[in-house]
A and B are shown apart, each in its own frame.
Chain A
Amino acid sequence: MLKRTTYLSHGYDDPSGHTLAAYEKVGGYQGARKALALSREAVVDEVKKAHIRGRGGAGFDCGTKWSFMPKQGQKPHYLVINADEGEPGTFKDRTIMERNPHSLIEGCIIGAYGIGAHVAYIYVRDELHLAKERLWGAIEEAKAKGYLGARPLGKDHPVEVVVHTGAGAYICGEETALLNSLEGKRGEPRLKPPFPAQFGAFGCPSTVNNVETIAVVPTVFQVGGDTFSRVSALHEFNDGGARLFGVSGHVARPGVYECAVGLTLRELIYDLGGGLSTGKEILGVIPGGSSCPVHRPDEIVDVPNDPRFEPYNGKSILDLPLGVDTFRAAGGMLGTCCAIVLSDEADPVLAFHNLMRFYRHESCGQCTPCREGCGWMERIADKLLAGTATMDELDQISEIASDITGNTICAFGDGAAQPALSFVRKYRSHFEDYIHTGGKGQTRRLVSAAEVST
Chain B
Amino acid sequence: MAFSLTGEQEREFEKILARYPNKMAACIPVLHLCQGANGNWVSDEVITFVADRLGLSTAHVAGVTTFYTLFNRHKPGEHQVWVCRTLSCALRGSDKVLAHCKKRLKIEEGETTKDGKITLRTAECLASCGSAPMMQVDKSYHEDLTIERVDEILNRLLES
Contact = CB atoms under 8 A, between A and B. Distances in A.
Given A127-B136, A354-B87, A454-B103, A86 B125 contact: yes
Interface string B11-45: 00000000101101111110110000000000000
B28 A358 contact: no
Given A88-B87, A248-B88, A453-B96, A181 B132 contact: no
Interface in B88-115: 88, 90-93, 95-96, 99-100, 103
A333 interface: no
Contacts of B92: 249, 447, 451
B93 A166 contact: no
A451 B89 CA distance: 13
A354 B90 contact: yes
Interface string A274-318: 000000000000100010000000000000000000000000000
A324 interface: no
Contact of B129 (A181, A188, A254, A355): A254
B127 A86 contact: yes
Contacts of A322: none
A24 interface: no
Contacts, number: 156
A202 interface: yes
Contact of A86 (B19, B22, B124, B139): B124
Nearest to A362: B124
A128 B19 CA distance: 20
A185 B29 CA distance: 12
Given A127-B136, A248-B129, A184 B88 contact: no
A373 interface: no
Given A165-B29, A167-B70, A246 B130 contact: yes
Contact of A340 (B29, B91, B103, B139): B91
Contact of A167 (B28, B60, B87, B125): B28
Nearest to B141: A130
Contacts of B22: 202
B131 interface: yes
B132 to A, nearest CB: 6
Interface in A119-136: 125-130
* Residue of B67, B71, B123 ringed by the most chain A CB atoms within 10 A: B67
A143 interface: no
A376 interface: no
B137 to A, nearest CB: 11
Interface string A181-224: 11111111000000000000010000000000000000000000
Interface residues of B, number: 49
A186 B141 CA distance: 26
B87 A166 contact: no
B86 interface: yes
B45 to A, nearest CB: 19
B68 A187 contact: yes
A362 B71 CA distance: 16
Contact of B27 (A170, A184, A250): A184
Interface in B118-140: 123-132, 136, 139-140
Contacts of B123: 127
Contact of A90 (B24, B99, B129, B139): B129
B128 to A, nearest CB: 6
B19 to A, nearest CB: 5
Contacts of B5: none
Given A88-B88, A90-B127, A248-B132, A185 B24 contact: yes
B99 to A, nearest CB: 6
Nearest to B91: A249
B153 interface: no
A290 B69 CA distance: 21
Interface string B46-64: 0000000010100010011
Contacts of B32: 126, 165, 167
A183 B88 CA distance: 32
A161 B71 CA distance: 26
A93 interface: yes
A346 B124 contact: no
B129 A89 contact: yes
Contacts of A21: none
A164 interface: yes
30 contacts: A76-B21, A85-B127, A87-B125, A88-B125, A89-B87, A89-B125, A94-B127, A125-B127, A128-B127, A162-B19, A164-B28, A165-B32, A167-B28, A168-B68, A168-B70, A184-B56, A185-B27, A186-B63, A249-B88, A254-B129, A254-B131, A254-B132, A338-B129, A351-B91, A354-B85, A358-B125, A362-B124, A446-B87, A447-B90, A454-B147
Top 5 closest A-B pairs, CB basis?
A184-B27, A167-B68, A168-B70, A168-B69, A248-B129
